[in-house]
Amino acid sequence: MKKLLNKVDDALADSLNGFGAAHRDLVSVNLEPRFVTRAGGTPKGKVALISGGGSGHEPLHAGFVGTGMLDAACPGEVFTSPTPDQMLAAAQAVEAPAGVLFIVKNYSGDVMNFEMAAEMMEGPNATVLTNDDVAVEDSLYTQGRRGVAGTIVVEKVVGAAAEAGADLAACKALGDRVNAASGTMGVALTSCTVPAAGKPTFDLGADEMEMGVGIHGEPGRRRVKIMAAKEIAAEMVEAIAAALEPKSTDPVILLVNGMGGTPLMELYVVYGAARRLCEDRGLKVARSLVGNYCTSLDMAGCSISLTKADDEILKLWDAPVHTAALRW
């Protein structure tokens, strides 16, 4: 295993220290317990958005803390849920009388621990559960669909609404609506390597790929021989479209997300194929995003996400955002 680390046990703390130093104008990092908040705190009267999950998916979620997105993020150890104490401490740190909205990816540990934190909170709170992965309905890690890259669209759109003054109930309803309008499917060309394990999570032959893989290396729909990028994109777009059933007149947000080990050159090849497939269906690709946003350590591969949009969602997507990983 070759990794740019000091000690494996210190990887997360060292990474958070570096992240905080690089973006101290945007975030404040607390190490005990671990959470990241907006520098300067949550604006007065604003609903605070808090998310989190295991590390190894950077920039998700700490990279999206800032104006127009999250107010706090709780990083767990690699591929491990953060603890309820982390979540509660983050909620207390954001000081949000208007309420706290937890955005939680659908993994058993995340769901359980965020529920415990919500129960311990004294102030108003609500939860949006993201479950956009159309590849499988159940896995060892979830009850139902997994929450993956579509979570980014939820955080951006709801973050803009909260920044504009939407109340807790409105933010919750919007988050549920965007999640229901989003679908994602991923593919792995290689496994990821968890530093503590020191070896690949699973084995793939030189001519194999895992179609429908999860962001922790969970099994996908099937293991197949390597295909051309346009064929990979076709299978993923078909699966997403079958789940979302978009109308031919629907505008969509198209996100092609890298898993951590795939060059942008290749991601744009996939994007070009995915966009053509959408347009062949009569869908209007109204907004696009290409890059590494919800990764799986060093895994080579990508995911495609589609979100059925409307004028409100597009306006909120276009609203200003200023975070370490996303800004316009």
Residue type, 133: D
Residues with Cβ within 8 Å of residue 205, at least 6 apart in sequence = none
- Cα-Cα-Cα-Cα torsion 156, 63, 294, 255, nearest 10 degrees, comes to 40
Q: How far is CA 145 from the centre of its chain?
A: 14
Spot the catalytic one: 23, 61, 216, 322: 216
Q: How far is CA 167 from the centre of its chain?
A: 23
Strands 301-308 and 182-188: antiparallel
23 is catalytic: no
Cα distances (Å, whole numbers) of residue 108 to 145, 146, 188: 11, 10, 23
Q: Are 257 and 187 in contact (CB under 8 A)?
A: no
Alpha carbons 9 and 83: distance in angstroms, whole number: 18
61 is catalytic: no
The catalytic residues are 57, 216
